[in-house]
Amino acid sequence: MKHRTFFWFFLPTGLAMLLFIALPIVSVVTQSLFTPHEAVLVTVETCTPFKCTQETTIDQDATAAIREAEPLGRFVGLSIYFDRGHLAIAEVSEAWQTRASFGDFFNKLNNLPFYRAMGFTLAFTFIVTPLVILMGLVIALAVNTVHARLKGVVIFFSLLPFVITPLIGALVLFWMIDSRGILGTALQWMAGDPSLSLKASTGLMWISLMIYGVWHAAPFAFVIFYAGLQTLPMDQIEAAQIDGASRFQRLRYVIVPHLMPLVTFVALIQLMDNFRVFEPIVGFNASAHASSLSWAIFNDLGGETQQLSSAAATSVITIIGVAILLSPVLVRTWRDYKGKV
Amino acid sequence: MSSPANKMPVALRFASTVFVIAWLLMAAFPFIWTFWGSFKVELDFFSISDWTNAITGERTKETHGSAFTGAGYHGAWVEEGFLRNVINTFIVCFFVVCTSLTFGTLGGYALSRSGFRYTFWLLIAALIFRAMPPITLVAGYMLPFFQWNLWGILPTTIIVLVAINQPFTLWMLHSFFQNIPKELDESAKVDGCTQFQAFRHVIIPVMWPGVITTGLFSFLLAYNDFAVTSMLLSEGNRTMVPQIAAFLGTTQTEGNIMFAVAAVVSATAPLFVLVMFFQRQIVSGLTAGAVKG
């Protein structure tokens, strides 16, 4: 295909991505270096015959004018990145110097909003992803033994948690796990503790958020692995069987290696998707116990005062995080590509 | 798998059947429960005194005289005008699917037919864009959209969703087009077609399976989005998902949480129908990417 033809074919999609993905990234980076103008203060001296008083007030007109003239705000360099709401350099170094123990240090870190969000995001990503892969694999193996006529129905129901809107899925589960819901009541009964409530316990909240994560994504892994199971090399399995491999050994040494490329694929997609965990925190109303990077951005953007600069700085840090997560894949793809050319 | 050597031991067979049933319960029960509960009053669905009330609907009987009530639906659809949000959702989904398929087929076709090095870099760029959480971009939209008075309206949201959708659409259609033999359009070009004519008359008629599958996923992305629609739409233009979140935010009075439950059930219904009719396409779409990777 000629360069010219390629250009015209690619123009619409390229333009859409340039205008609404690439430029916003530039805009986010710029925004994160500026902070809103402070209110313009005027000091007015009012004198009565007896004494003069000075009064400092906000000059509304001047403030509005300067905010109108420079909507980006004033340039503050990287200081937003280092403030208390983000990397909190000062607080972290103070916590490090005055630490009583490592536990104490991490406790202090956990009180800083950015590290709290980062902690949950990373924990969620690296706990849910392997569980999803494991769960998907077990479901695929089990469904593979189901009678052929029932498979359609089983796959239909299995797809539901994956296809459902994440916020709705989170709500539906949360309403059941809520202390007044059916699962919440069952938990109270099992623990013998009628006051047991999700809303009161950070640990329980984390666990249920992760259960949601696995519930939502397991069908995806299941469908991929199930498709992989349909292309199993039968001759290899039979050969292994003749060599006396047990059922488990066949699984471990023939089936799993056959599915390995799919495991890598699922892991890649899941790492990307779990890193952006956001809707369950809204749906579970979990912000008191867990927050994620995406949620922190959402929280800054919404509400009465839109903290664009703060949201932008968190966004940039998130994008860097995604880049770090993605880098092994990119390096591998690049090697594959160079190998092919 | 019919030889006796392959026969599963009874214990294993039993365990695997139990597991499948348990999984099906996990997957489907929350929906059945919510559907059932949406016809109850709040004190039954969230029962403090006795959990069986959620099944029998004791309080619902006291309040409405029958174990089932449509009060939640009436509240959401009639009092709160949920229909407006439903219409908005379908407007957004329709235009997002159409636009992103048009852009995506042209771009994906070009990527699959051009052998130059830059196609690789474009695909890598798309992969990076795919990995970025959409909410990180929203911070970048806000200020320009406010400045140019584009914030809050449906067309802005549609084009933003199309753009966010493009990386995924490109990858998927690229892999579908790779499977359509190149000889097809080459022979058309030998017969004197231009590249676009080859695309128009030879490729379009055979590309529908891939396009339908990709369209389904575009639809799901637009339908399920919360981050973009909740930040970029004004109150009057909300789609379903941000509206459900809004029902939750104003849960000071009784009833309102049941509005949310009824709205959730209403928003789930189209997805059920979708999976029912397009199960095969969804499965093939999910696996299409995996086979390549």
Q: What are the tens digits of pLDDT across the range B102-138? A: 999 999 999 998 888 888 899 889 988 988 899 999 9
Q: Does residue B215 share a domain with residue B187?
A: yes
Answer yes or no: do B131 and A322 touch at CB < 8 A: yes
* Cβ-based contacts of B224 with chain A (< 8 Å): 164-167
In a domain? residue B252: yes
Confidence of residue B6 (pLDDT cuts 50, 70, 90): low
In a domain? residue B10: no
Q: Does residue B130 share a domain with residue B57?
A: no
In a domain? residue B4: no
The 3-state DSSP composition of chain A as helix, strand, coil percent (nearest 5) reads 70, 5, 20
Q: How high is the pLDDT of residue A257?
A: 92
* Cβ-based contacts of A26 with chain B (< 8 Å): 140
In a domain? residue B7: no
Q: Does residue B65 share a domain with residue B97?
A: no
Q: Does residue B34 share a domain with residue B171?
A: no
- Rg of chain B in Å (alpha carbons): 24
Q: How many domains does one find in chain B?
A: 2
Under 8 Å between Cβ of A287 and A133: no
Distance (Å, rounded) from C-alpha B279 to C-alpha B281? 6
Which residue range forms the structural domain that includes residue B60? 19-69
- Residue A67 in this model has a pLDDT that exceeds 60: yes
Under 8 Å between Cβ of B185 and B207: no
- Residue B280 in this model has a pLDDT that exceeds 70: yes
Span A17-60, pLDDT tens digits: 999 999 999 999 998 998 888 777 888 877 877 778 777 877 88
Q: How high is the pLDDT of residue B285?
A: 84
Answer yes or no: do A175 and B164 touch at CB < 8 A: no
In terms of pLDDT, which residue wins out, A210 or A247?
A210
Amino acid type, B38: S
Q: Does residue B255 share a domain with residue B191?
A: yes
Under 8 Å between Cβ of A233 and A258: yes
Question: Looking at residues A171-197, what average pLDDT do you find?
Answer: 86
User: Is B271 touching A (CB cutoff 8 A)?
Assistant: yes
Average pLDDT along chain B: 87
Q: Does residue B108 share a domain with residue B172?
A: yes
Span B32-48, pLDDT tens digits: 999 999 998 888 888 77
In a domain? residue B155: yes
Of A142, A175, A312, the CB nearest to B20: A142
Q: How high is the pLDDT of residue A79?
A: 85
Q: At what angle do helices A23-31 and B134-147 cross, to 10 degrees?
A: 80
Of B107, B166, B241, the CB nearest to A9: B107
Question: Looking at residues B248-264, what average pLDDT do you find?
Answer: 72
Dump the DSSP string for A147-200.
-HHHHHHHHHHHHHHHHS-HHHHHHHHHHHHSTTSHHHHHHHHHHT-TT--GGG
Span A79-92, pLDDT tens digits: 888 888 888 888 88
Q: Does residue B108 share a domain with residue B29?
A: no
In CATH, what number is assigned to the domain containing residue B97? 1.10.3720.10
Q: Does residue B163 share a domain with residue B25?
A: no
CATH class of A114-336: mainly alpha
Coil, helix or strand at residue A289: coil
* Cβ-based contacts of B27 with chain A (< 8 Å): 157-158, 160-161, 215, 219
What CA–CA distances, in Å, run from A186 to A75, A179, A193, B187?
Answer: 55, 9, 10, 67
CB < 8 Å from A in window 210-269 of B:
220, 223-224, 226-227, 230-231, 241, 244-245, 248, 260-261, 264, 267-268
> H or E segment at A272?
helix A256-275
Residue of A nearest to B157 (CA): A20
Distance (Å, rounded) from C-alpha A221 to C-alpha A269? 10
Span A240-257, pLDDT tens digits: 989 988 888 989 999 999
* Cβ-based contacts of A167 with chain B (< 8 Å): 224, 226, 241, 244-245
Q: How high is the pLDDT of residue B114?
A: 86
Question: Looking at residues B65-89, what average pLDDT do you find?
Answer: 89
Confidence of residue B255 (pLDDT cuts 50, 70, 90): very low
In a domain? residue B240: yes
CB < 8 Å from A in window 61-90 of B:
none
Q: Does residue B85 share a domain with residue B186?
A: yes
In a domain? residue B282: yes
Burial, B267: exposed, middle or buried (Cβ in 10 Å; 0-12, 13-18, 19+)? buried
Last residue of a domain, one of B45, B69, B93: B69
- Residue B253 in this model has a pLDDT that exceeds 50: no
Q: How high is the pLDDT of residue B291?
A: 54
CB atoms inside a 10 Å sphere around CB A242? 9
Residue of B nearest to A162 (CA): B27
For chain A, what are the domain ranges?
A: 35-75, 77-111, 114-336
- Residue A271 in this model has a pLDDT that exceeds 80: yes
Q: How high is the pLDDT of residue A72?
A: 77
In a domain? residue B181: yes
Residue of A nearest to B278 (CA): A156
Residue of B nearest to A29 (CA): B140
Q: How high is the pLDDT of residue B293?
A: 42
State both tokens at B204: 């379009």
Distance from CA of B270 to the nearest CA of A (A): 10
